[in-house]
Amino acid sequence: MKFKRVSAVARKEFLHVLRDWRSLGIGIAIPVVMLFLFGYALTLDVDRVPLMVWDQSETPASRSYLSGFSASRYFHLVGNARGYREIERAIDSRRAVMALVVPVDFARKVGSGRGVSVQAIVDGSDSNVASFALGYAEAVNGAFSAKVTMDLLRRSGQPPPVRGLELQPRVWFNTDMVSRNYIFPGLMAVVMMVIAALLTSLTFAREWEGGTMEQLIATPVTGGELILGKLIPYYAIGMFDLVLSVLVGEFVFRIPLRGELWLIFASSSIFLVGALSLGMLISIVTKSQFLSSQIALVATMLPAFLLSGFVFPIANMPYPIQLFTHIVTARYFVVLLRGIYLKGLGLNLLFGEALFLIAFAALVLALSHHKFRKRIE
């Protein structure tokens, strides 16, 4: 393998990319758009749940109870209803997700220490939001119930109850439990996987369809030199995208970086070589730009989004699907980035994931070299 021939192929590919605005758009503009779009739009946080209230009691006690909801950052009071018909219309129109119905005898039963039920109506069409809303409501309800119990004991002159078991949570790594801090490192892995495979999935297919592959075959350039030369420009674009991603995470989304920056670039380089080689392998086998781009999308985007643990926890998937995720490279890269970003881990704990990425990159690069033949078929 001669460096002069590799550099000549790389220069040719660089010139093609710079002259083709579509390739530049795929390589630079689309990753930035995806980072901002998913970074702002994709969130697992559920707060400011639209709440409708029907206060049939209309007493200081009921208003005190409802103030716990309106003062919470998890609920947003959108209106007061006068019947179930208004509640139904508000939930049907998605103006409200949850409604509380306070009974007429609420103050009397609370004052006498008798049990009282407050009806909570929740829109269950989105089960995730409904579960969070009910959890928040139970927390506000429990706080009010404890306050009422203490007031009753104080008025009756009885000693306060003995304090029972108390849970004192301490959150590590993502103290504020902001879902963006958890999502963004995984988003970087997904963006790099999809864009890298899409970029190189067109390289060899474009040469075959454009009729220029015959000219390359006639040159002394070997298959390995051709593959490496075509890989270099897209590797440079991928690393440029990585720099943009790190800068966007640091200065736009304020994602905490607790690990070593060099480790992010080192692991990303290995992952990028594997993703680029996968796209190149698809291009070599199919020899069709349209077919290779479609296969690259299916082979990278769907596994990276659904089976990498980027959004959906792998432990909650059916067992056969969990087994299949072990061959999805994005799964290991997501673990690497989250470990470095959120926990500040090093290779001593992430060695297994890094080893898999190295093995995958070497295997796919070798397969690409094996499948490419310098002959016209």
State the Cα–Cα distance between residues 228 and 8, nearest whole angstrom.
11
Residues 62 and 89 in one domain: yes
Q: Is residue 167 part of a domain?
A: no
Strand, helix or coil for residue 51: strand
Give the number of other Cβ atoms within 10 Å of residue 298's Cβ: 10
Give the number of other Cβ atoms within 10 Å of residue 213's Cβ: 18
Predicted model pTM: 0.82
Residues 192 and 338 in one domain: yes
State the Cα–Cα distance between residues 137 and 121, nearest whole angstrom.
11
Q: Is residue 162 part of a domain?
A: no
Question: What's at 261, amino acid-wise?
Answer: L
Give the domain range for residue 72: 49-156
- Are the beta carbons of 318 and 196 closer than 8 angstroms? no
Residues 277 and 218 in one domain: yes
Residues 224 and 193 in one domain: yes
Residues 139 and 242 in one domain: no
Residue 96: the pLDDT is 94
Residues 63 and 120 in one domain: yes
Residues 309 and 188 in one domain: yes
* Domain at 68, CATH number: 3.40.1710.10
251 Cβ partners below 8 Å, 6+ apart?
Answer: none
Among all chains, which residue has been given the structure tokens 């103050």?
107
Q: Is residue 161 part of a domain?
A: no
- Tell me how many helices (H) and strands (E) the chain has: 16, 4
Q: Is residue 122 part of a domain?
A: yes
Q: Which of 100, 124, 156 is the last residue of a domain?
A: 156
Residues 347 and 208 in one domain: yes
Residue 172: the pLDDT is 87
Residues 223 and 317 in one domain: yes
Residue 162: the pLDDT is 62
Q: Which of 156, 188, 211 is the last residue of a domain?
A: 156
Q: Is residue 169 part of a domain?
A: no
Q: Is residue 164 part of a domain?
A: no
Residues 212 and 304 in one domain: yes
State the Cα–Cα distance between residues 227 and 372, nearest whole angstrom.
9
2 in the Ramachandran plot: left (φ > 0), alpha (ψ -120 to 50) or beta? beta
Residues 194 and 341 in one domain: yes
Q: Is residue 172 part of a domain?
A: no
Residues 234 and 119 in one domain: no
Tens place of pLDDT per residue across the chain (377 aa)? 688 888 888 888 888 877 777 777 777 888 888 888 888 877 777 888 999 999 999 999 999 999 999 999 899 999 999 999 999 999 999 999 999 999 999 998 888 877 788 999 999 988 888 998 999 999 999 889 888 888 877 777 776 666 667 778 888 888 878 888 888 998 898 888 888 888 888 888 888 787 777 777 778 888 888 889 989 999 998 899 999 999 999 999 999 999 999 999 999 999 999 999 999 999 888 888 888 888 988 888 888 888 999 888 898 899 999 999 999 999 999 999 999 999 999 989 999 999 999 999 999 999 998 888 755 55
Q: Is residue 235 part of a domain?
A: yes
In degrees rounded to 5, what are phi and psi of residue 76? -130, 110
Query: How many Cα atoms occupy the beta-carbon half-sphere of 258 within 13 Å?
Result: 15
Q: In total, how many domains does the chain have?
A: 2
Q: Which of 121, 156, 191 is the last residue of a domain?
A: 156
Residue 341: the pLDDT is 93
State the Cα–Cα distance between residues 20 and 359, nearest whole angstrom.
33
